[in-house]
Every structure is written in C-alpha cells, then in structure tokens.
C-alpha cells in the first residue's frame, strides 16, 4: 500500500509539473516501474487538467488505503505486544516452573536412592563430620529456582536485542520544490505592498530590487526611452508568472531571451506598481500630494512634498526611496536615454498615484506632478 501510495503521488506530482510546463523531474525517494501515464505527444490544457485530476484522485485513494492498512498493521502490533506476547511469556514461565519442580524432585529422589545404594561410599557421599562439608543431598536442596531464573533472565537481557513496542509513523510524500511553488505560489502582483514585504521579510520589494539591479547590470540605463517604451507582451507575462510563483527564486540574468530587451523588465515593474491595491502614493494622501505639487514656490513645494513623503507608511517610504535612487541613475544618463525628469514624471505619475488622474481628465502639467518628481529625484 505504501509503494502504491508513493507511486500515485509521484504520478500526481509529475502531472502538476507537466500542466505548468515544468520540466524538472520530481525528486522521489524511490523509483519503481509503473504504468506510463504520460505520452510524448503534446496535450491540450484541458487534457493536462484532466490528467492532473485523475492523478490526484488516484493519489488520494492510495493515501487512504495506505493509512487504512497502516492502522491495521499498528493494531496487529499492539495486539501482539499487549496481549499475545505477555500470554506467551506467562505460559513459558509456567512450563519452566513445572520443569524446575520436576527436576528438583527427581534430583532429590536420585540423591536419596544414591545414598542408600552407595553405603560403601557413605563417607564420601555423606560425611560423618560436619567439618567435611554438606552431603550431595544438601547441595540439591539448596537449589533456588527463582534466583536461578532471575540470574538467567538478567544475563539474557544484557545480551539480547530489546524489542521496542512503538507505532509505525505515517510517512507523508514530499513533493519537489517546483511542485510546491506551483501549489502554494507567493503572489507578487495585486498583493498589498506591506503584506508582501512582511511575508518576504525585506525592506525593499524583491521585484523592484531585482528589476532595478538587472537594468543597471546589463547596461539598460543607456537604453533610449527607458521606462517609456513598452516591451513584448508575451515576455512581460512570462516575467510576471515567474515573480508570482516565487520572487525569491527569480534570477533575471539567467532568463536570456526575456531580458534581451530591457523594456520587458521596465514594463513588468510598471505593471506591478499599477496593480498594487493601494498606489505607492496612497489614496488617503492623494489630495495632499496634489496640493503640495501645485505650490508655485520651489522651496515651499519641496518642503511640503518632503513632509508628505515622511508621512507615508514605512513600506511605501522605503520603496519610494529605493525607486527614486534608481530613477536618479536613469536621469544621470539622460544624454543617452533621453529620459529627463519631466519624461519620467509623465511615465510614473499615473503609475505611482493611481488611476485617479486619468479618470478626472487632468493632465500632468495641471497637477504639477513633473515638479513633484523633480523634487523627489533631486532632493530625496
């Protein structure tokens, strides 16, 4: 039953990996010859889902059978150790006692008859003088069955292997890391900023950290129209799926074709900012930032914007601080990438402030968001 359970669990895991286009073979504790359930012909998503459901049902049935048979085995072991084994030991002890009594009786009778028939050797068998020692009969009478039994059992126990009466533990099937990531993904998109940062125990969101570092490492800061030009939609979706499964395991430098165009990385990062449930500049402080950005006096505007930024929640503040540091590097290459502070303000204004800008029919210049980003890049 255990072998069948592990076999069906392995088939279920392989179905999960095949449905999600993961080529890695599951890491199982044993390999057995099982019926091949996967053909080399490509399957449709519907067939893969049906295949995964069938494998899961078989694994569940095998798991129940394994647990049921395991309970029967444990019940039998308990019956043996708690009932049958004590009964056997008691019966053996009774037989041993009967043998001891019989042997003692016949030895005593033998000694008595021997003494009577060996009159000529009476002095040897039963000395007259006590100083010569006890008779043979006395030696036999000194036999102590209980002491002999205790001594024997002690010597046997010290040499024999001790039988332990314990339950056989349930051994669950351990799936591979790839299958676990598919079944329990660490979603990144559409998850509250504070929630995902607390979950991942980081001060800067992993997607922002990895995207910004990769852009800087591959020379993307010199790409013309950086953050303004969109990437390839299919590549953007693949990058999104990678971050939604397990952001900690993502290594963008190893993705090859996906990062050949730096705009794929910038597009997936902007998409993540847009899908935050609450924008980086929170909705609760939206009007405060807008009013501060409209202040005509540069010095007062910068001071007011800094004050509003300092009142942001800690996760938003640390994320904004890192983003502004990265965008400052982008602006430092504006002679090549043509991305000035004003251009970045046009790109990131709606992304960081939410959809309220477009819904109200206002443009960037009217709200002064160019000024706000300018203050953020130069003074944060």
Ordered by start, the domain boundaries in the chain are 2-159, 187-379
Instruction: Report the percentage of the chain scoring pLDDT > 70.
Output: 80
> In the predicted model, what is the mean pLDDT of residues 272-286?
94
pLDDT given at position 117: 77
Tracing tokens 């597009």 back to the chain, one arrives at: 267
C-alpha gyration radius of the chain: 42
Q: Which of 47-51, 108-112, 183-187, 350-354 has the lowest mean pLDDT?
A: 183-187
Instruction: Report the percentage of the chain scoring pLDDT > 90.
Output: 46
pLDDT given at position 227: 95
Closest CA to 266 of 323, 228, 235: 228
> What phi and psi, each to the nearest 5 degrees, are found at residue 306?
-60, -40
pLDDT tens digits, one per residue of 199-256: 999 999 999 999 999 999 999 999 999 999 999 999 999 999 999 988 998 999 998 8
> In the predicted model, what is the mean pLDDT of residues 176-200?
79
Instruction: Assess whether pLDDT exceeds 50 at residue 364.
Output: no
SS3 at position 335? helix
> What Cα–Cα distance (Å) separates residue 232 from each residue in 25, 50, 75, 144, 170?
30, 32, 62, 96, 49
> In the predicted model, what is the mean pLDDT of residues 256-264?
90
pLDDT given at position 23: 58
Q: Considering the domain 187-379 in this protein, what is its CATH number?
A: 1.10.555.10
Instruction: Assess whether pLDDT exceeds 80 at residue 369.
Output: no
pLDDT greater at residue 178 or residue 151: 151
pLDDT given at position 217: 94
Is residue 182 very low, low, confident or very high in pLDDT (cuts 50, 70, 90)?
low
Kindly compute the dihedral angle of the four CA atoms of residues 328, 329, 330, 333, in this order, to the nearest 10 degrees: 120
Tracing tokens 């999600």 back to the chain, one arrives at: 20
Residue 323 near residue 289, CB atoms below 8 Å: no
Mean pLDDT estimate for the chain: 82
pLDDT given at position 124: 60
Residue 272 near residue 189, CB atoms below 8 Å: yes
Is this structure's pTM higher than 0.75? no
């Amino acid at each position: 039953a255990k072998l069948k359970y592990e076999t069906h669990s392995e088939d279920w895991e392989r179905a999960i990996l095949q449905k999600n286009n993961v080529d890695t073979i599951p890491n199982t504790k044993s390999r057995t010859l099982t019926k091949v359930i996967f053909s080399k012909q490509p399957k449709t998503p519907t067939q893969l889902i049906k295949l995964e459901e069938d494998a899961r049902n078989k694994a569940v049935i095998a798991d129940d059978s394994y647990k049921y048979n395991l309970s029967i085995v444990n019940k039998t072991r308990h019956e043996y150790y708690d009932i049958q084994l004590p009964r056997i030991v008691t019966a053996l002890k009774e037989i041993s006692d009967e043998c001891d009594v019989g042997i003692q009786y016949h030895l005593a009778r033998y000694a008595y008859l021997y003494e009577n028939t060996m009159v000529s050797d009476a002095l040897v068998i039963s000395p007259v003088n006590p100083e010569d020692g006890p008779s043979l009969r006395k030696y036999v009478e000194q036999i102590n069955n209980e002491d002999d039994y205790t001594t024997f059992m002690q010597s046997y126990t010290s040499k024999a292997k001790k039988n332990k009466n314990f339950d056989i533990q349930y051994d669950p099937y351990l799936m591979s890391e790839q299958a676990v990531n598919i079944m329990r993904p660490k979603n990144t998109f559409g998850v509250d900023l504070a929630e995902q940062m607390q979950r991942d125990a980081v001060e800067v969101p992993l997607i922002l950290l990895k995207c910004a570092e990769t852009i800087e490492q591959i020379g993307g800061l010199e790409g013309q129209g950086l953050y303004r030009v969109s990437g390839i939609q299919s590549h953007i979706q693949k990058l999104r799926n990678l971050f939604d499964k397990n952001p900690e395991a993502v290594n963008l430098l190893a993705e090859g074709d996906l990062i050949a165009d730096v705009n794929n990385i910038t597009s997936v990062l902007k998409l993540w900012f847009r899908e935050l449930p609450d924008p980086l500049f929170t909705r609760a402080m939206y009007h405060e930032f807008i009013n501060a950005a409209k202040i005509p006096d540069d010095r007062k505007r910068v001071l007011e914007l800094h004050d509003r930024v300092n009142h942001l929640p800690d996760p938003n503040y640390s994320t904004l601080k890192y983003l502004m540091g990265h965008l400052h590097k982008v602006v430092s290459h504006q002679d090549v990438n043509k991305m000035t502070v004003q251009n970045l303000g046009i790109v990131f204004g709606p992304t960081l402030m939410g959809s309220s800008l477009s819904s109200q029919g206002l443009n960037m210049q009217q709200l002064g968001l160019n000024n706000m980003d300018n203050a953020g890049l130069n003074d944060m």
